[in-house]
Amino acid sequence: MTRRLHHPARFLLLAVLVLPAGALPMLATAQQAAATTVRAAARPVAEPPATAKNCASAPAGNAFYVPPDPLPPGQHGDIIWCRPVTSPAPGARAWQILYLSTTVSGARTAVSGTVLIPTVTYPGTRPVVAYASGTQGWGDQCAPSREMTTGSYDEQFAVDNLLAQGWAVAVTDYPGLGTPGDETYSVGISEGYAVLDALRAATLLPGGGLSTTAPMGIEGYSQGGGAAGWAAQLQPGYAPGLPLHGVAMGGTPANLQAVAANINGTAFFAFLGGAALGFNAAYPARKLLSDLTPAGRAALAQLDTMCQEQALATYAGKRIQDYTAGGINPINEPRWQTVLNANDLGTIKPRVPLLQYHGLADEVIPWSVEAALHTQWCAMGVTTLFTTYPGDHVATHVQAQPQVVSWLHARFAGTPAPSNC
């Protein structure tokens, strides 16, 4: 549901933790030492390529984010249009893309994002990694593709770590963030679709030189951990042709009810308010916000214009009951429970190896939430390695970077994936 939060020493940490290629030994933990070796995931046949005929006609300015009506024909993952932009990463080229994806109801939709490709020649077929961002905020100005152009995207360090390996990176904005409408924030199904479709879109980028048979991976933390987990679960049925080799996910909000209970009335309430907006956008027929008072509607409408930092400061200590008629907690109602249950991870078996990691002192998403997900997937026979870090929500994202990149390296090399089930 969330991502890293700002900390006074954070950018000093990030400055020294951008990882050069070849300097990524796997972290030795007690859990990894006990890991067993299992077979590597098979590489499926890639989906047939498509063309992006309209890339040269992309609108200028923010009109780029407004999709044509009706949407053009095509498969999910096809590019509607694209444009080159100034790269936020030295040694890489960057494009903004608008591509086709799918809603929770199965309808076609348009999602924006960014593709970054290193300028250095890669020895062999260049891998493509989808980076699933954590919470940026709810106003369109908070979309990662927009923040990258202004230098305010605070997960650039993680993207740079992937680029430093020579890998291409596709960063989705998620449905409704940047594009018209509300972001379907924390709705794992639609976020998972958007992540998978960003991978396909990257390989169809004109002039990008990427292959549709390129080995692919996914990294995501916090909100992005949920999106990455859902991408892993959905891929066999939704995008079976993507040659996905592994998914690394951490700080994962696998059980949305447990996360909501943990942050209601705390400094992190904005994430709960944002999730209310997101689920209402994804499931409009359920009228999930009908219990809000007029003041509650106004409060969430204001939240919907903000990026993360402002929202956290504005709504710190609030409870959902502060905004509902009679002070009820609507999350306990059946109409809410139905959609939350549908977006909880752990009910579908991923077919690719997984890396899970979580901070024992995570104050936003309890460690027990990820641990329970690991247990669920282990019971299904999933190949998943779960590593516990000692830190909080912020620190764990930074501290796990060497392990994440090294683990992905091993998957692309065809090394059998470890598991500690």
Examine the domain organization and report whether 335 and 394 are in the same domain.
no
Q: Which residues pair with 84 in a beta bridge?
A: 95
Examine the domain organization and report whether 227 and 270 are in the same domain.
no
**What length is written for the chain?**
421
Residue 56's pLDDT is what?
65
Query: Which residue from 343, 402, 410, 390 is spatially nearest to 186, judged by alpha carbons?
Result: 343
Is-contact 110 80, C-beta < 8 A? Answer: yes
Written as six digits, the tokens of 24 are: 């990524």
Examine the domain organization and report whether 350 and 333 are in the same domain.
no
Backbone angles phi, psi at 280, to 5 degrees: -65, -35
Q: Global pTM?
A: 0.90
Find the radius of gyration of the CA atoms of the chain: 20
CA dist 411 → 33, 40, 98, 224, 243 (Å): 18, 8, 29, 20, 12
Examine the domain organization and report whether 201 and 328 are in the same domain.
no
Examine the domain organization and report whether 145 and 217 are in the same domain.
yes
Examine the domain organization and report whether 137 and 217 are in the same domain.
yes
Examine the domain organization and report whether 182 and 322 are in the same domain.
no
Residues 6+ apart with CB under 8 A from 310: 137
Task: Look at phi and psi of residue 102 and say left if phi exceeds 0, alpha if psi is from -120 to 50, else beta.
Answer: beta
Cβ burial 332-371 (10 Å sphere, 16+ → b, else e): eeeebeebbeebbbbebebbbbbbbbbbeebebbbbebbb
Residue 412 in any domain: the answer is yes
CATH (domain of 319): 1.10.260.130
Residue 57's pLDDT is what?
83
Residues 6+ apart with CB under 8 A from 278: 176, 182, 183, 184, 185, 186, 187
Written as six digits, the tokens of 66 are: 């407004």
Fill in the amino acid letter for 38: V
Residue 216 in any domain: the answer is yes
Residue with tokens 């065809």: 414
Residue 221 in any domain: the answer is yes
Written as six digits, the tokens of 59 are: 């609108």
Strand 384-389 versus strand 418-419 pairing type: unpaired
Examine the domain organization and report whether 52 and 196 are in the same domain.
yes
Examine the domain organization and report whether 267 and 359 are in the same domain.
no
Q: Which residues pair with 217 in a beta bridge?
A: 129, 246
CATH (domain of 86): 3.40.50.1820
Strand 108-118 versus strand 92-102 pairing type: antiparallel
Residue 11's pLDDT is what?
31
CA distance 162 to 183: 26
Three-state SS sequence of 389-418? ECCCHHHHHHHCHHHHHHHHHHHHCCCCCE
Range of the domain at 278: 256-341
Residue 4 in any domain: the answer is no
Written as six digits, the tokens of 378 are: 């282990």
Residue 8's pLDDT is what?
30
Residue 156 in any domain: the answer is yes
Taking the CA of residue 395 as centre, how many other CA atoms within 13 Å lie in the half-sphere pointing to its CB?
11
* Helix axis angle, 269-282 to 256-263, nearest 10°: 140
Based on the structure, what is the number of domains in the chain? 2
pLDDT tens for each residue of the chain, 421 residues long: 444 444 333 333 333 344 444 433 333 332 332 222 222 222 222 233 334 445 668 999 999 999 999 999 999 999 999 999 999 999 999 999 999 999 999 999 999 999 999 999 999 999 999 999 999 999 999 999 999 999 999 999 999 999 999 999 999 999 999 999 999 999 999 999 999 999 999 999 999 999 999 999 999 999 999 999 999 999 999 999 999 999 999 999 999 999 999 999 999 999 999 999 999 999 999 999 999 999 999 999 999 999 999 999 999 999 999 999 999 999 999 999 999 999 999 999 999 999 999 999 999 999 999 999 999 999 999 999 999 999 999 999 999 999 999 999 999 999 999 999 9
Written as six digits, the tokens of 193 are: 């679709």
Q: Which of 341, 376, 398 is the last residue of a domain?
A: 341
Task: Look at phi and psi of residue 103 and say left if phi exceeds 0, alpha if psi is from -120 to 50, else beta.
Answer: beta
Q: Which of 341, 361, 384 is the last residue of a domain?
A: 341
Examine the domain organization and report whether 210 and 226 are in the same domain.
yes
Fill in the amino acid letter for 239: A
Backbone angles phi, psi at 120, to 5 degrees: -70, 145
Name the 3-class secondary structure at 370: helix
Residue 5 in any domain: the answer is no
CA distance 234 to 221: 18
Which H or E run includes 197? helix 188-203
CA distance 229 to 357: 12
Residue 385 in any domain: the answer is yes
Examine the domain organization and report whether 128 and 263 are in the same domain.
no
Residue 212 in any domain: the answer is yes
Examine the domain organization and report whether 283 and 298 are in the same domain.
yes
Q: Which of 341, 359, 393 is the last residue of a domain?
A: 341
